[in-house]
């Protein structure tokens, strides 16, 4: 891809969020966003599995046929009881990321290789049953350790990413690309998110790709959702919308240069 790419991703797609994400996709279509990377959770919070809901499965199949991308987004998305085997972060830091930073949504933060591989495999079984073509794995909240990254690579994924990097798994090459993302859990978070993303958007104006990451809860707050649509509209005047997979395939061909980045515990929003 050239230096004018825009990647719009929609996180936490599941039967529980279906009505909101469907509405978001309709509004994105009205903005002429014809490529979205949809981060689908196979068994959201251990409730209804994605393949048990025919309506959302058929909807996702239609979107994929129209050029949108389906991405594996964890297994159930919640935090786990497993302890990371190699991390520079203290138990207190892990507690912070799991309970304050994400309120229990850091499923892959502290998984070891075997458990991460199992959950990824379980998700792929469901996706293959549904004939979803999947090239990317993205951990819930972008939080993962190097064991998880290795497990995703061994399952044959083309890429993963964090809040600040795009990672080509076959080669290990990493490309810096910070994402705009909003936090809606509290009023002060919503106010800060709106101010921060205006500044971040301006800082990222000359970078590629520009990433805008959405969550179902964004739709519930008109000020947040209105800002998101305005930023996407402004970005589309200068950029071509692509999926993560499309951008990474170009990256794989060597069409994009990248800066080396130290591998560590990848933390996201």
- The residue ranking higher by pLDDT, 43 or 260, is 43
Residues 6 or more apart from 113 whose CB is under 8 A from it?
85, 147, 148, 150, 151
Q: Are 56 and 50 in contact (CB under 8 A)?
A: yes
pLDDT reading at 71 higher than 90 = yes
pLDDT at 3: 54
Q: State which fold the 5-252 domain adopts.
A: TIM Barrel (3.20.20)
Tokens of 78: 């919640």
Helix (H) / strand (E) element for 49: namely: none
Q: Is the pTM of this model over 0.75?
A: yes
Q: Considering all CA atoms of the chain, what is the largest pairwise distance in Å, rounded to the nearest integer?
A: 46
pLDDT, tens only, 124-164? 999 999 999 999 999 999 999 999 999 999 999 999 999 99
Q: Are 262 and 63 in contact (CB under 8 A)?
A: no
Q: Which of 264, 245, 265 is nearest to 168 (CA)?
A: 245
User: How many other C-beta atoms lie within 10 A of the C-beta of residue 178?
Assistant: 15
pLDDT at 23: 98
Tokens of 198: 């205006």
Task: Report d(CA 137, CA 95) in Å as an integer.
Answer: 24
Task: Report d(CA 145, CA 124) in Å as an integer.
Answer: 20
* Residue that has been written with the tokens 């980045």 in this structure: 261
pLDDT, tens only, 168-199? 999 999 999 999 999 998 999 999 999 999 99
Q: Are 251 and 166 in contact (CB under 8 A)?
A: yes
Domain ranges of the chain: 5-252
pLDDT at 104: 54
Task: Report d(CA 241, CA 232) in Å as an integer.
Answer: 10
pLDDT reading at 257 higher than 80 = no
Tokens of 255: 């069409």
pLDDT at 107: 86
Task: Report d(CA 139, CA 72) in Å as an integer.
Answer: 8
DSSP 140-178: GGG-B-HHHHHHHHHTT-SEEE-SSEEEETTTTEEEE--
- The tally of CA atoms less than 13 A away on the side-chain side of residue 115 is 16
The helix/strand/coil state of 206 is coil
pLDDT, tens only, 79-114? 555 454 445 455 555 555 555 454 556 788 889 999
Quote the crossing angle between the two packed helices 54-65 and 18-30, to the nearest 10°: 20
Residues 6 or more apart from 63 whose CB is under 8 A from it?
25, 36, 38, 70
The helix/strand/coil state of 247 is helix
pLDDT at 261: 37
DSSP 36: -
Tokens of 154: 């061994």
Q: Which of 64, 42, 67, 68 is nearest to 53 (CA)?
A: 42
């Amino acid at each position: 891809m050239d230096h004018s790419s825009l990647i719009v991703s929609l996180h936490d797609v599941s039967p529980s969020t279906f009505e909101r994400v469907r509405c978001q996709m309709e509004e994105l279509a009205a903005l002429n966003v014809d490529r979205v990377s949809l981060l689908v959770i196979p068994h959201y919070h251990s409730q209804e599995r994605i393949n048990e809901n025919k309506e959302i499965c058929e909807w996702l199949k239609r979107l994929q046929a129209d050029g949108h991308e389906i991405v594996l987004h964890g297994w159930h998305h919640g935090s786990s009881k497993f302890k990371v085997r190699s991390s520079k972060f203290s138990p207190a830091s892990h507690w912070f990321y799991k309970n304050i930073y994400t309120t229990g949504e850091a499923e892959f933060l502290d998984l070891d290789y075997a458990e991460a591989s199992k959950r990824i495999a379980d998700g792929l079984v469901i996706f293959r049953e549904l004939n979803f073509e999947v090239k990317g794995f993205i951990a819930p909240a972008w939080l993962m350790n190097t064991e998880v990254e290795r497990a995703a690579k061994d399952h044959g994924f083309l890429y993963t990413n964090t809040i600040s990097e795009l990672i080509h798994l076959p080669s290990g090459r990493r490309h810096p690309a910070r994402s705009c993302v909003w936090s809606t859990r509290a009023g002060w978070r919503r106010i800060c998110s709106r101010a921060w993303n205006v500044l971040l958007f301006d800082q990222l104006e000359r970078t590629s790709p520009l990433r805008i990451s959405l969550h179902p809860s964004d739709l519930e707050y008109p000020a947040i959702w209105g800002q998101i649509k305005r930023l996407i509209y402004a970005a589309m005047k200068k950029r071509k919308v692509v999926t993560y997979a499309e951008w990474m395939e170009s990256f794989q061909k060597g069409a994009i240069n990248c800066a080396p980045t130290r591998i560590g515990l990848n933390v996201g929003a």
